[in-house]
Structure 1
Amino acid sequence: MSDANDTLQMNDVLAGIEQAFGPESAFTAEPVSEPEKQVLAKVFGDDGYQDYLQDQINRQVIRDYLLNARILGFIDKDQLEEILHRAASFEGRAVLALHMIMRSVEEAWNLAQECGEGSLQVLRPVPGSPPQLELIPQR
């Protein structure tokens, strides 16, 4: 339990997490030329690519969560189908992934119920914020 004077410094937490990961894996097996770097920067810096990357992350979160929940018996086939209906759109996947990150697989049955009732809410910690996780840049 933290002391009342102990404040959570997000940059410090993020720095500690990044440090624990160790060095990043090599992006390519071969050296990249300067013109290639420019093309890569253009592609990977594009908003479309960032949306694609976020959607891929959301898909992986959903896959892992549902596979674990189903294998461990926390949801049945019908409950799985209820959840999967919500995963058909970009925004639906963003909402599901965030809910899944915030819940244990033991709560998957509840998530299925909320999806079936249409009561699964977009989590917006700050009014007007997007319904997906945002990377916090390191300073």
Structure 2
Amino acid sequence: MAVKMDKEALSAFLVEVFPQVHEDFAIEHVEEMAVRVRLKVAERHLRPGGTVSGPSMFALADVGVYLAVLSMIGPKALTVTTGCSMDFMRKPRAHADLIASCTLLKLGRTLAVGDVLLRSEGADAPVARATMTYAIPS
């Protein structure tokens, strides 16, 4: 199965469909069944103690798998999250961007399942891991 939306197409789609948050994310790499996305960490993403908040990490995982799905099926904006399991493993580096490595484990006609590892920029150990399920509109 070939990639239907490359990095530029996905970036333009985010600007068009999610103008309120597109500036928070940068798509770094797109390949068949996988993407890498960066959360450009700003003060609004931090919680007390200066670390990236759980909701910000969830948003990165969610956007990452959403983009991985769209890269394979094309611009179907109504593809929606139907399930998530997320493990927070260690504290992200203070004020460091987060990088999500997203891999699609299953891409069917109506459902997609993706796995995400989140790392602080420059660190090898993941700070969180998520499994996301999406419903694909027909």
Q: In which range does the TM-score fall when normalised by the shorter chain?
A: under 0.3
- The alignment's TM-score, normalised by the length of structure 2, stands at 0.26
Q: Which has the higher strand share?
A: 2
Larger Rg: 1
Q: Which has the higher helix share?
A: 1
- The alignment's TM-score, normalised by the length of structure 1, stands at 0.26
